Amino acid sequence: MPVFETRVRQALFASRRWHPAEIVFWCLAFAAFLLFPRNLLLLNEIAILALFALSLDLILGYAGIVSLGHAAFLGMGAYAAGLLAKHVSADPFAGLLAGMGAAGLLGLVTSPLVLRGTDLTRLMITLGVALILYELANSLSALTGGADGLQGIMMAPVLGLFDFDIFGRTAYLYSLSVLFLLFLIARRVVHSPFGLSLRAIRDNPLRAAASGVPNDRRLAAVYTLAAAYAGAAGALLAQTTQFVSLDVLDFHRSADLMLVLIIGGAGYLYGGLIGAIAFKLLQDLIASFTPQYWMFWIGLFLVLFVLGGREMIHGAVKAVAARFARLGKGAAR
């Protein structure tokens, strides 16, 4: 048994090491601030969508919990941050914590509903929760603004120094920094014994329970964590746009998120990030050529992509990553 534990610890330690391709990825993400100064608003949208996709990947890719109502947590975080900024404090970090706390609490309260049943049951339950919140936000117009949206949000400068501007300079660096910090936490979580237990539950819940893994508690914990991450994405969206509408709770938010993970792949943290980049760039590119029919072309692309393009792209990504790994080993020698 001690030999087995030693091997597990060694495997976990090896998985936590930073791959050279990962370092390049994040360096390029921060360098984009200087490389694409005219596209910072789009880059900010990508960073927020990437964080949103990361939150879904934690439960879908690692725990096997399917969801069609993940927008419920995005909307909860957005409204919590927006209401706090409008009525209590305009500090961005306070709003970020409020959004994460509100969405995490919602995830904790609703987690018992998704712990049992089939995938179809979970799809219906998560979708139902999002629809309920949508109607509540619409009916409580005195608080949320209803169909007109929550307006009049004014944010204080980040760290008291950096004002939010119409060009997205502060917004992008702020959103990207939050994404990076939360990614570090998620990376540590999935490469821990807790993360291994989640994968064991995903692959074979009966065997995991027989091995002594507390399935329900682990699933509730990761569901709450994923909800908090989605709430952070919602808070960033509310703060950087200074507006919250019912759109944040709409079904298309959850549907787009599933498309992002289909493109990038679920079960590894960079899948949501790569998928968010590809989806938003594709959306922006097609919409610039055909504003009325861009959804048709995205749909066609996704059909072709799922039929055979994903394996080719993932193979190319793995080849590039392996190339960087060989270069890193050569430099170390």
Instruction: Say what the pLDDT of residue 113 is.
Output: 86
Distances in Å between the Cα of 266 and the Cα atoms of 119, 248, 270, 291 are 16, 23, 9, 30
Instruction: Say what the pLDDT of residue 166 is.
Output: 86
- The tens place of each residue's pLDDT in the chain, 333 residues long, gives 455 456 656 565 656 678 888 899 999 999 999 999 999 999 999 999 999 999 999 999 899 888 889 999 999 999 999 999 999 889 999 999 999 999 999 999 999 988 877 778 888 888 999 999 999 999 988 898 888 888 888 899 898 888 888 888 999 999 999 999 999 999 999 988 898 899 988 888 888 888 888 888 999 999 999 999 999 999 999 999 999 999 999 988 998 898 898 888 888 889 899 999 988 988 888 877 777 777 777 777 777 776 665 555 555 555 655 665 565 555 555
Q: What does the CA dihedral 175, 180, 184, 186 come to, rounded to 10 degrees? A: 50
Distances in Å between the Cα of 293 and the Cα atoms of 39, 60, 259, 319 are 23, 30, 18, 35
Nearest 5°: the CA angle 306, 307, 313 is: 60
Instruction: Say what the pLDDT of residue 2 is.
Output: 57
Instruction: Say what the pLDDT of residue 176 is.
Output: 96
Residue 327, SS3 per DSSP: helix
DSSP letter for each residue of 82-106: HHHHHHT---HHHHHHHHHHHHHHH
Residue whose C-alpha is closest to residue 47's, from 61, 28, 65: 28
DSSP letter for each residue of 218-243: HHHHHHHHHHHHHHHHHHHHHHHHT-
Q: Which amino acid is at 16?
A: R
DSSP letter for each residue of 250-262: SHHHHHHHHHHHH
Residue with tokens 């709450």: 224
Instruction: Say what the pLDDT of residue 255 is.
Output: 87
Distance, CA of 242 to CA of 235 (rounded, Å): 10
| Residues shown for the chain | 333
Instruction: Say what the pLDDT of residue 218 is.
Output: 92
CATH code for residues 20-332: 1.10.3470
Q: What is the pTM for the complete model shown?
A: 0.87
Instruction: Say what the pLDDT of residue 297 is.
Output: 75
Instruction: Say what the pLDDT of residue 206 is.
Output: 86
Distance, CA of 222 to CA of 8 (rounded, Å): 21
